[in-house]
Amino acid sequence: MITITIANNFKPREENIIEKTRETNDVYTIELASDSNSLPGQFYELSVLGIGEAPISVASSSTERLKFTVRNIGHVTSKIFEQDRIGVRGPYGNHWPFEKYDRILAIAGGIGVPPIRSLIHELKGKKELWVIYGARTPSDLVYKYEFDQWKNLSNLILTVDRGDENWNGKVGLVTKFISEIPNLKNMAAFLIGPPIMMENSVKELLKYEVSPENIYLSLERRMECGFGVCGHCNVGHFYVCEDGPIFKYSEVRDLPEVFL
């Protein structure tokens, strides 16, 4: 008798968590023992036995160990930080098309920054990369311990909506600083963050004649099941988890759900 074994792509593999970092009051980063082998913008499904799973963007480059930065907002994400081992499946989805461009502007808001961290470490300063990263307050910024390194690998602009007595940096929404980027017309723009941030950033980029073909949005926030079953991430005729999570603005600009 011939036995045929069929791999189960939906069965997670168990991974050891080797390091945990508290980023803010409700955000943490975990590093796993295995290599990443994934590209900036892709995501994984992380699971806790008996609790469930959640789609989380990869925060590491392809040459690092797997890293994920997670906000404690749900029944799964609230438990991951407590574990020594978790279930992992992936990577899934497409990635930022950084190979196509020599000049890139990456704009991230809030907890949307992990895929941009991945991008910074993937490029390693080999291309002209501008990064605008904004958060509500200085205490909401993540990866503070890496900012000096980021400044060596990119042209970094940090901003907060509201400063405090210890903040000496920029204050204002990320859109306020798009005008500081030289020769915008000839750049690609990668956007990730709250819908209103991305919508206003697109409007600003279009003012500077950045082509809709060269503006890319990550719609990862819409994902839930991660493999096209629940319908939660439906945008027009697209399923974000299967067709994305990275989309050209020119492909989705007429879909009303994009910035909801």
Confidence band for 224, pLDDT divided at 50, 70 and 90: confident
φ/ψ (deg, to 5) at 107:
-120, 125
pLDDT band at 9; cut points 50, 70, 90: low
Q: What is the mean pLDDT of the chain?
A: 93
**In this predicted model, what pLDDT tens digit does every residue of 227-239 receive, in sequence order?**
777 878 889 889 9
The single-letter code of the amino acid at 232 is H
**Same domain membership, residue 79 and residue 107:** no
Q: What is the pLDDT of residues 207-220, one digit of tens each?
A: 999 999 999 999 99
Residue type, 89: R
Report whether pLDDT(254) > 60.
Answer: yes
Residue range 104-129, pLDDT digits in tens: 999 999 999 999 999 999 999 999 99
SS3 call for 19: strand
Look at residue 6 in the predicted model and tell me its pLDDT.
38
- On the question of pLDDT at 241 being above 70, the answer is yes
Domain presence at residue 238: no
Residue 74 pLDDT grade (very low, low, confident, very high; cuts 50, 70, 90): confident
Out of 53-67, 79-93, 110-124, 225-239, least confident range: 225-239
155 close to 180: Cβ distance less than 8 angstroms: no
CATH number at residue 167: 3.40.50.80
Q: Checking DSSP bridges between strand 170-171 and strand 65-71, what pairing results, if any? A: unpaired
Structure-token match 């005729």, residue found:
237
What's the predicted TM-score (pTM) here? 0.94
Residues 27 and 141: their CA atoms lie apart, in Å, by 10
Res 2: pLDDT: 46
Number of domains the chain is built from = 2
Same domain, 183 and 148: yes
Q: Domain check: are 132 and 149 in the same one?
A: yes
Whether residue 54 sits in one domain with residue 35: yes
pLDDT at 10: 74
Domain with 40 in it? 13-92
